Amino acid sequence: MKLTMPALLALAGSLATNPAIATESANNEDTSSVSQAAPMTPPVAEKRDHSYTRHGITIEDPYHWLKDQSYPTIDDADVLEHLKAENAWFEAQMEPRKDLVEELFEEMKGRIKEDDSSVPQKDGDWIYWTEFEEGKEYRKWYRKPATGGDASLILNENELAEGKDYFRLGAFSVSDNGRYLAYSTDDNGSERYTARIKDLDSGALLDDAIPETLSGLSWVANDTMLAYGKANENWRVDNVRLHRIGTDAADDVEIYHEEDEGFRVNAGLSAQEDWLIIATGDNETSEVRLVRADDPTGEQILVRERRKGIEYDVDLRTEDGETTLFIHTNDDHINFRLATAPLAAPGEWTTLIEGSDEFYLTDFELYQDFYTTEGRLDGLDQVQVRSYSDPAQVRPIRFPEASYVAGLSNNPEYDVNKLRLSYESMVTPDSVYDYHLDDGRLELLKQQEIPSGYDASLYKTERLTIAARDGTQVPVSVVMRKDRPAGAGPLHLYAYGAYGYAVPPGFSTSRLSLVDRGVAYAIAHIRGGDDLGRRWYLQGKLNERTNTFEDFVDVAKGLIAHGYTEKGKISASGGSAGGELMGVIVNTDPDLWGAVVADVPFVDVLNTMLDESLPLTPGEWPEWGNPVASKQAFAYILSYSPYDQVVAQDYPPMLVTAGLNDPRVTYWEPAKWVAKLRDTKTDDNVLLLKTNMGAGHGGKSGRFTSLYETAEAYAFILWQLGLTDE
Active site residues: 576, 662, 697
What DSSP assignment string belongs to 641-701? Answer: -TTTT--SS----EEEEEETT-SSS-THHHHHHHHHHHHH--S---EEEEEETT-BTTBS-
Farthest-apart Cα atoms in the chain, separation: 77
Long-range contacts from 200-206, C-beta under 8 angstroms, 24+ separation: 200/152, 200/154, 200/174, 206/245, 206/246
Identify which of 535, 525, 472, 476 has the alpha carbon closest to the alpha carbon of residue 502.
Answer: 525
Identify which of 180, 202, 184, 182 has the alpha carbon closest to the alpha carbon of residue 194.
Answer: 184
- 454's CB contacts (< 8 A; 6+ apart) are 111, 429, 509, 512
In contact, 519 and 492? CB cutoff 8 Å: yes
Distance CA 93, CA 100 (A): 13
Q: How far is CA 2 from CA 48, 81, 196, 313, in A?
A: 52, 47, 21, 12
Reduced to 3 states, what is the DSSP secondary structure of residue 173?
strand
Which DSSP helix (H) or strand (E) runs through 617? Answer: helix 617-624
- C-beta atoms surrounding 266 within 10 Å: 20
Dihedral (CA of 632, 634, 635, 637) sign = positive
CA end-to-end span of the chain: 54
Distance CA 226, CA 215 (A): 11
The single-letter code of the amino acid at 603 is: V
Q: Is 567 exposed, middle or buried (0-12, 13-18, 19+ CB in 10 A)?
A: middle
- C-beta atoms surrounding 144 within 10 Å: 15
The single-letter code of the amino acid at 705 is: T
- C-beta atoms surrounding 6 within 10 Å: 12
Reduced to 3 states, what is the DSSP secondary structure of residue 318?
strand
Distance CA 90, CA 102 (A): 16
Distance CA 6, CA 126 (A): 20
Distance CA 300, CA 55 (A): 44
Distance CA 243, CA 229 (A): 10
- 99's CB contacts (< 8 A; 6+ apart) are none
Reduced to 3 states, what is the DSSP secondary structure of residue 373?
strand
Residue 25: what are its φ and ψ, rounded to 5°? Answer: -65, -35
- C-beta atoms surrounding 568 within 10 Å: 15
Q: In what order do the strands lie in the sheet with 322-329?
A: 312-319, 322-329, 337-342, 350-353
Q: In what order do the strands lie in the sheet with 359-366?
A: 359-366, 371-377, 380-386, 394-396
Q: How far is CA 92 from CA 37, 669, 684, 718, 725, in A?
A: 9, 23, 16, 17, 19
